[in-house]
Amino acid sequence: RDNVKYAPARGKYKVYIIDEVHMLSGAAFNAFLKTLEEPPPHVIFILATTDPKKVPLTVLSRCQRFDFKPIPPEILVESLKRILAGEGVPFDPAALPLLVRAAEGRLRDALSLLDAALAYGGGRLEGEALARLLGASAPAQIRALVSALVAADAGAALEGIDRAVRDGQDPAGLCREAVEAIRRLLIVKAAPSISLPDLTAAEIAEIKSQGERVSVEELLFILMVL
């Protein structure tokens, strides 16, 4: 507040970025409000927050608002493919959906995970190595578990869980991934017109095949149990 009155030493504007601005106290917001109402012409404030509802209306009303959304999975996949092709890096196409789901719509996180996965995989992106890096179950293990659940094969399901635990995997993580896999199966079964761009064509075909052996009600029951 004391420094905004001074012109920038270089460039046209002074830009102040306040991250997670909703965490300011009420007193801090009140102290800031006068400056925000009548900012000097050479000053720009960028107020970033993950919880805009906690920002006072007196502050929100004086701002231009821009809502940033997660990047759609299909765009993330294409971006990663372009980067990998441009760098000449060999990759397993089945690893990309796993990477995209872990990034949760954030390109920066996707690139950070990609860097770590390439270092971990010796310069190659592979599904099994990526799953180990993320502390996740390998896609093949999840597919096998889901197949056992859909077929009501308790023995195979318990063997899969036992094998995952003996391999040092987190049972809660295994459960979350099983929930996600069943959720996708439910979408393909109940709403086939909905696109699932984070899955490969082979994965979608396998999911459709699994869906033929189970009803929507049974899938909802499995989800509830998980």
Asked whether the beta carbons of 137 and 150 are under 8 A apart, the reply is no
Q: What is the pTM of this model?
A: 0.56
Give the integer Cα–Cα distance in Å for 110 and 148: 31
Q: What is the pLDDT of residues 123-136, one digit of tens each?
A: 888 877 777 777 66
Of 224, 130, 131, 134, which Cα lies nearest the Cα of 179?
A: 224
Q: Do the Cβ atoms of 101 and 198 come closer than 8 Å?
A: yes
For the chain, the straight-line distance linking the first and the last C-alpha, in angstroms and rounded, comes to 52
**CA–CA distance, 95 with 128 (Å, rounded to integer):** 8
Other C-beta atoms within 10 Å of 218: how many?
A: 15
Q: What is the pLDDT of residues 65-122, one digit of tens each?
A: 999 888 888 888 889 999 999 989 888 887 888 788 888 888 898 999 888 888 888 8
